[in-house]
Amino acid sequence: MVRKLVSIGMVLLAIVGLLVGCAPAGAPSPTPAPPKAATAATPAAARPANPELILATTTSTQDSGLLDVLLPVFEKQTGYKVKPIAVGSGQAMTMGERGEADVLLVHAPDSEKKFMESGHGVDRRLVMHNDFVILGPREDPAKIKGEQLAIAALKKVAAAKAVFVGRGDNSGTDQLEQKLWKLANLDPKGQTWYQQTGQGMGATLNIAAERSGYTISDRATYLANKKNVKLEVLVEGDKSLLNVYHVITVNPKKSDKINAQGATAFADFMVASATQETITRFGVDRYGQPLFFADAGKKDEEVGG
């Protein structure tokens, strides 16, 4: 009986072998189902409780194209959705004071310090710098090209009554310009040759070019618009033209709508080594030079040296 069972078993094994041997050569094996972790969306627990983040920033970070590079990376990494509002630094800080923004990226150091001292901000971190330049038409009627000092150049513009176009919007650029006029012991407001646009840097560049006038711009915005504006860099390199950017998280006591967690995440992102490396490379491929210089981890007095 046992032998009979063994014989039956051998016959069954032989049949199975024949069936396997008849399968087409190279037939694909069934694809195993992918692990759940590989196909599942980001777990709900990893998503921000409040994904909406309002960033008040300067027009230079937008006009230069830097935000277009950085924000998608931040959003992908963190799950936050950023609403950037590009205004002058003064307006950005006013938004912070009113609790209308969660985080600021600005370049008006004197006003920033007052903002922090007044308790409107929780944390202020150095991010990057570039510089301001004095631009003008190729004809250079005030003969300022090559001047080493910005205030000397402005004195020449005033003496020549050459057209000068300022922003007049309390932006970081406007604050720097007004500071330089004061250092030059001049008050151009009300003069026929002095005009203010009340607009951002990109628009101001266009107006200055149309009127063959002089203006002050951050280098990044100028380079990004250089092909479209007939203005040349005439004065540069003066330490007074340094342009420093900080990221500031707004005090959550300003409003119960402040997204403090998101603001901190954005500030952390801006000073992270990978972001700083991106900032350092930004603009090199297109303009042959970086538009900004990364400064995270430095002290303010170490910048631009």
Query: 240 pairs with which residues across the strands?
Result: none
What integer pLDDT is reported at residue 305 of this predicted model?
Answer: 60
The residue from 220, 241, 262 where one domain ends is: 241
What integer pLDDT is reported at residue 97 of this predicted model?
Answer: 96
The residue from 222, 241, 260 where one domain ends is: 241
Is 234 found in the same domain as 160? yes
Is 235 found in the same domain as 272? no
Identify the three-state secondary structure at position 197. Answer: coil
Is 194 found in the same domain as 114? no
What integer pLDDT is reported at residue 47 of this predicted model?
Answer: 85
Using alpha carbons, select from 110, 105, 126, 107 the residue that is nearest to residue 250. Answer: 105
The residue from 197, 218, 241 where one domain ends is: 241
Of the chain, the end-to-end C-alpha distance in Å amounts to 99
Domain assignment present for 161: yes
Domain assignment present for 126: yes
Is 190 found in the same domain as 166? yes
Is 213 found in the same domain as 64? no
Query: 104 pairs with which residues across the strands?
Result: 56, 248
Tokens 């959705």 belong to 81
Backbone torsion region of residue 119, taken as left when φ is above 0, otherwise alpha when ψ lies between -120 and 50, otherwise beta = left
Is 237 found in the same domain as 135? yes
What integer pLDDT is reported at residue 304 of this predicted model?
Answer: 75
* CATH, residue 212: 3.40.190.10
Residue 184 neighbours by CB under 8 Å, 6+ apart: 151, 152, 154, 155, 158
Domain assignment present for 163: yes
Is 125 found in the same domain as 247? yes
If residue 129 lies in a helix (H) or strand (E), which one and from where to where?
strand 121-136
Q: How far apart are CA 60 and CA 89, in angstroms?
A: 10
Domain assignment present for 210: yes
Its pTM stands at 0.80
Residue 189 neighbours by CB under 8 Å, 6+ apart: 196
Domain assignment present for 110: yes
Query: Position 2: which residue type?
Result: V
| C-alpha pair distances (Å), 27 with each of 23, 31, 32, 91, 213 | 7, 12, 15, 68, 76
Domain assignment present for 25: no
Is 220 found in the same domain as 139? yes
Q: How far apart are CA 217 and CA 170, in angstroms?
A: 14
Is 220 found in the same domain as 135? yes
Residues of the chain under the 50 pLDDT cut: 1-45
Structural domains of the chain, count? 2
Is 181 found in the same domain as 147? yes
Domain enclosing residue 117, as ranges = 48-130+243-298
Is 92 found in the same domain as 108? yes
Domain assignment present for 282: yes
Is 195 found in the same domain as 136? yes
Asked if 245 contacts 172 with a C-beta cutoff of 8 angstroms, the reply is: no
Q: How far apart are CA 108 and CA 246, in angstroms?
A: 9
User: Which is it for the CA torsion 206, 212, 217, 220, positive or negative?
Assistant: positive
What integer pLDDT is reported at residue 15 of this predicted model?
Answer: 36
Domain assignment present for 190: yes
